[in-house]
C-alpha cells in the first residue's frame, strides 16, 4: 500500500508513520529523517543541508527530489511505503507522480492531518525540543516552518483531492491512539477494495 501523509509540523506525521510502518510492514520514508541521518553521519549531503534544516527552510528541490527517487527505487518499497514530509510543494508532487508513473504505481491514499489550534502544534514541538533536541524546534524556527507549511505545502491537500480522490482528513488533535484508530479504519477500507 502506497501511503502519503500531509500535515503541519507537530501534527504527528512521524508518530503515525512509525505505527503504520510497524503494523503493515512497509517502510517509513521521511525526508527529514534521511537528512538528519546524513547530518549525523557527517556526509557531504549532511554538511550541505545542516544549516538549511537548522534555519527551518526547505532544502532545494534539486537535492530533495533525487533523494526521494533513490529511496523509492529500493526493493523494500515493493509492498508499499508510507511517505512523511515529502512532497512539500507542487514541484515535488509533480516529480513524485512521474517517479511512480515510471514504475507503474500510484499513491493509493493521502491522509491530511488537521490540528486547528496552532498553539497545540507549538506546544507539542516545544515538548519534543526537550525530548529529542532537534535544532529546528526553537520558537522562531517553529514559526518559520509553520508559515512555510501554510504557504507551500497545505495547498497539496487540494491538489490530491482533485487528482486522486482518495484523500482522508484526520482530526490529528486527539490522542495518538485515537488518530491511529481512524487511520487503520481507512486503510482497512483500501485493503478491502484491493
Per-residue CA distances from 124 to 7, 20, 26, 109, 117 (Å): 14, 21, 26, 26, 11
Per-residue x/- mask for ligand AP5, residues 121 to 150, rule CB under 6 A?
---x--xx-------x--------x-----
Q: What values do phi and psi take at 80, rounded to 5?
A: 135, -175
Pick between residue 37 and residue 191 the one whose CB is nearest to ligand AP5: 37
Per-residue binder mask for ligand AP5 (CB under 6 A), 100-119, x = binder: --------------------
Contact 80, 24 (CB under 8 A): yes
Minimum distance from residue 189 beta carbon to ligand AP5 (Å): 22
Least Cα distance to 27 among 68, 67, 71, 77 occurs for 77
The reply on whether position 56 binds ligand AP5 by CB under 6 A is: yes
Q: Which is nearer to ligand AP5, 131 or 165 (CB)?
A: 131
The enclosing H or E element of 185 equals helix 176-193
**Helix/strand/coil for 81:** strand
Q: Which stretches of the chain bind ligand AP5, using CB under 6 A?
A: 7, 9-15, 30-32, 35, 52-53, 56-59, 64, 85-86, 88, 92, 124, 127-128, 136, 145, 175-176, 179
Amino acid at each position: 500500500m502506497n501511503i502519503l501523509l500531509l500535515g503541519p509540523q507537530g501534527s504527528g506525521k512521524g508518530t503515525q508513520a512509525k505505527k503504520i510502518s510497524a503494523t503493515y510492514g512497509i517502510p517509513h520514508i521521511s525526508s527529514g529523517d534521511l537528512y538528519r541521518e546524513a547530518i549525523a553521519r557527517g556526509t557531504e549531503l549532511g554538511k550541505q543541508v545542516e544549516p538549511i534544516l537548522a534555519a527551518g527552510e526547505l532544502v532545494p528541490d534539486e537535492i530533495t527530489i533525487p533523494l526521494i527517487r533513490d529511496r523509492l527505487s529500493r526493493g523494500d518499497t515493493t509492498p508499499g511505503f508510507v511517505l512523511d514530509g515529502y512532497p512539500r510543494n507542487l514541484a515535488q508532487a509533480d516529480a513524485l507522480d512521474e517517479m511512480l508513473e515510471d514504475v507503474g504505481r500510484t499513491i493509493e491514499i493521502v491522509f491530511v492531518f488537521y490540528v486547528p489550534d496552532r498553539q497545540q502544534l507549538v506546544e507539542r514541538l516545544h515538548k519534543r525540543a526537550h525530548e529529542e533536541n532537534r535544532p529546528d524546534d526553537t520558537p522562531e524556527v517553529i514559526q518559520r516552518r509553520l508559515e512555510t507549511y501554510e504557504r507551500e505545502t497545505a495547498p497539496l491537500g487540494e491538489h490530491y483531492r482533485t487528482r486522486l480522490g482518495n484523500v482522508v482528513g484526520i482530526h490529528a488533535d486527539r490522542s495518538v491512539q485515537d488518530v491511529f484508530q481512524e487511520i487503520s479504519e481507512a486503510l482497512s477500507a483500501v485493503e478491502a477494495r484491493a
